[in-house]
Amino acid sequence: MARKKDTLEHGAKGDHAVLTKDGSRKNVRGRRGGLKDMPDMPLDVLLEIFCYMEPRDLLSLARTTKPFREFLMHHSSANMWKAARANIAGLPDCPPYLSEPAFANLAFSPYCHNCLKPNVQTIFWEFSKRYCPSCTKEFTITERQMHHDAQFSWFFLVDDVICSTVSIIDTHCIVPMADWVHPQKSTNGRSELYHRPELDKVRRIWGSLYHTDQWNTFAIEQRLRVQAKNEHATLCRAWDVQRAAKRSEELDHIRQQRFDAIVSKLRDLGWTWAKIRDELVTYMQEIQETRLRAERRRVIWGRLDVLETVISAARAAPPKRTVEDEYKPKLQDLAMMSEVRQLIEAPNDAVVDQQAITDTVVPMLHALEERWQCVRKTDLRAMLNRNIGAQDGVDVLDLATSAFRCKSLRRDLCRRYMHFPEVLAHECPLTFPVTEIQEGDYLSCVVTKYKRHPWSTLNIEVAPCVDEMGMIIARCGKDPETTTLKDMDDIKLVYDTPRVGDLAMTWRSAVR
């Protein structure tokens, strides 16, 4: 079978499809390999082409093929790079210590010079390097760090020697050697950065020349070289700032042009301000309300956090907790009480900190707990009186038949039967859907924060087996309308099962 061709001409002249790695075809314009003979073009033709390019274009071209790289990186192509550099307004000349491609790579290639991480915009002009944050930590060091690093002890040993032999060293630097080993101010302005590779180079030279006359000569020459680098770095940094500002202006201009075009198009379509004003104002009001609601919710949540801290500390204080503490109102219940809610719902600019909540809520905490329990007892009695009869003098909550069952939407997770006061401690997460609560409402903030709804009789019901419980109590020789839960706790029931036989259990276990 003939081998399948890897190109397929179709459509307009010069367009073709190429096979990709996954077997699909991708349309490309032009003829593949059309520029492969470009390095063989006459020099005057190449110069004419390159004179319209910028240094970043030559860099990209040099990274396409080996012939291009060999051609553009040869020292004979320096004039091409100079011509390309001339197309960049304000760009300083290439310094003598860098080649034209190296200078172009420093100024225009956004890659870390060590790890090649992309989009690196930090240029250390004095070091002729681009470093990403991690490589900056690896290849630079501050004067303070050198003080705590033994391998840089030599740095401070030669300090006095230089000061005494080279009088023109800039003595206002923290370390005089900074004048000839390239310090660079760090971004926070609090210290100076030194280039580790340059320090290592100076250390090696110091080790071999320090006790000779050549050391003084090297120090002077090095200081002059660094001074020239600093002057060139200042020019480059100024150009870089100007370039960034110009680019920012260009982007602003583009945005303004797009905005003007949109406004013009809307006007052509008849969308005048008078026509869209009402709709736009309504839309902006909705955005404002959403923003204010979100801000308000953050304030409420923050205060509920403080409330939780204060209540937890108050209840953890001596005396030790007992089982009775489990029947006290939970955080979500306290948050819904009028005294607490008034404090939490104070205006956003009001000071509702830990001290304010402690001073207001803690003194009345015991009274709030007792009131809550009293109200809950009243609610539960009202529920039971509709289903259970109690003789005079007997609290219906104490009857053995007074059992409740959770009404959780997930009956497969919670089918608990409870008596009083156990029912006060029961809570199921999100018994009712949050969608039933108005968005942004105070109750919604409480439920979202504490992951529970406040206790409510809507979450429970009277146990449906009241009659059956009354029959069992009667068979025990007791009156269901007077027998209390404590009375039945003293009796052990025996349940006869066909498979297991007799099972002994308490009354509470039998109800569950």
Whether 435 has a pLDDT exceeding 70, the answer reads no
Rounded distance, CA 417 to CA 224, Å?
91
Out of 92, 109, 126, a domain closes at 109
Which H helix or E strand runs over 162?
Answer: helix 153-165
What is the per-residue pLDDT for 509? 73
Considering the domain boundaries, does residue 302 fall inside one?
yes
Q: Which residue has the tokens 């953890």?
A: 316
Q: Which range, 7-11, 47-51, 143-147, 348-352, has the best average confidence (pLDDT)?
A: 348-352
Whether 2 has a pLDDT exceeding 50, the answer reads no
Out of 109, 127, 159, a domain closes at 109
Rounded distance, CA 173 to CA 175, Å?
5
Q: How many residues does the chain have?
A: 512
Q: CA angle at residue 36 from 118 to 24, to 5 degrees?
A: 65
Over range 60-89, report the average pLDDT. 89
Is the distance from CB of 339 to CB of 368 less than 8 angstroms? yes
Is the distance from CB of 192 to CB of 186 less than 8 angstroms? yes
Is the distance from CB of 457 to CB of 380 less than 8 angstroms? yes
Rounded distance, CA 485 to CA 98, Å?
95
Handedness of CA 125, 126, 129, 133 (dihedral sign): negative
Q: Are strands 15-19 and 25-29 parallel, antiparallel or unpaired?
A: antiparallel
Whether 486 has a pLDDT exceeding 80, the answer reads yes
Out of 49, 78, 109, a domain closes at 109
Q: What are the φ and ψ backbone dihedral angles of 376, each rounded to 5 degrees?
A: -65, -40
Cα distances (angstroms) measured from residue 391 to each of 163, 387, 491 = 106, 14, 22
Provide the number of structural domains found in the chain: 2
Considering the domain boundaries, does residue 393 fall inside one?
yes
Considering the domain boundaries, does residue 394 fall inside one?
yes
Please give the share of the chain, as a percent, with pLDDT higher than 90. 38
Rounded distance, CA 370 to CA 328, Å?
8
Rounded distance, CA 41 to CA 50, Å?
12
Confidence of residue 498 (pLDDT cuts 50, 70, 90): low
Q: CA angle at residue 219 from 218 to 220, to 5 degrees?
A: 90
Whether a cis peptide bond, with omega within 30° of 0, leads into 133 is: no
Over range 107-111, report the average pLDDT. 95
Rounded distance, CA 313 to CA 51, Å?
77
Rounded distance, CA 46 to CA 40, Å?
9
Considering the domain boundaries, does residue 435 fall inside one?
yes
Considering the domain boundaries, does residue 226 fall inside one?
no
| CA 281 to the chain's CA centroid | 33
Rounded distance, CA 25 to CA 240, Å?
43
Considering the domain boundaries, does residue 239 fall inside one?
no
Cα distances (angstroms) measured from residue 344 to each of 331, 334, 347 = 13, 11, 9
Give residue 101's domain range.
37-109
Q: What is the pLDDT of residues 283-313, one digit of tens each?
A: 999 999 999 999 999 999 999 999 999 999 9
Q: Which pTM value belongs to this model?
A: 0.50
Q: What is the pLDDT of residues 194-234, one digit of tens each?
A: 888 888 888 888 888 877 888 888 888 888 888 888 899 99
Considering the domain boundaries, does residue 247 fall inside one?
no
Is the distance from CB of 6 to CB of 18 less than 8 angstroms? yes
Considering the domain boundaries, does residue 188 fall inside one?
no
Rounded distance, CA 265 to CA 367, Å?
67
